[in-house]
Amino acid sequence: MRQKIVSKNISRKRRHVRVRAVVSGTAEKPRLNVFRGLKHTYAQLIDDEAGKTLVGVHSKTVDKKGETDGRKSKTAIAFLVGKALAEKAKEKKITKVVFDRAGYKYHGRVQAVADGARAGGLKF
């Protein structure tokens, strides 16, 4: 009997589709989407009703000399991504968001982005 091998990414995409069936963002309470690449972390606030990205931040443009206490790990930089996203959201008068972990475990970089956004003043 042959066993079907499913890649991690396909499983993640299936989980993401299930979550997206429930989670949706509006202009008042946008969806905070996190993408975790091999090298970089991306986060954006999306208004699903209008189909527009309101704010977007990625680890390539974040000031890495921020409050990481000299650490340069991907998790420390992901925290800064969340904090930078919260600051940009404040400029657009956004305070409440819905968190979309995009099928990833709420662990590591994904959790760090959420913690950074909370530290920056966003409410989940």
Q: Binning pLDDT at 50, 70 and 90, where does residue 3 land?
A: low
Rounded (5°) CA angle 7-10-13: 150
CB count within 10 Å of CB 95 equals 12
Going by DSSP bridges, is the β-strand pair 52-58/41-47 parallel, antiparallel, or unpaired?
antiparallel
* Portion of the chain with pLDDT greater than 70, in percent: 92
Query: Domains of the chain by range and CATH?
Result: 27-119 (3.30.420.100)
In SS3 terms, 71-121 reads as: CCCHHHHHHHHHHHHHHHHHHCCCCECEEECCCCCCCCHHHHHHHHHHHCC
**Is the Cβ–Cβ distance between 43 and 32 less than 8 Å?**
yes
Per-residue model confidence as pLDDT tens digits over 46-87: 999 999 999 999 999 887 776 666 677 999 999 999 999 999
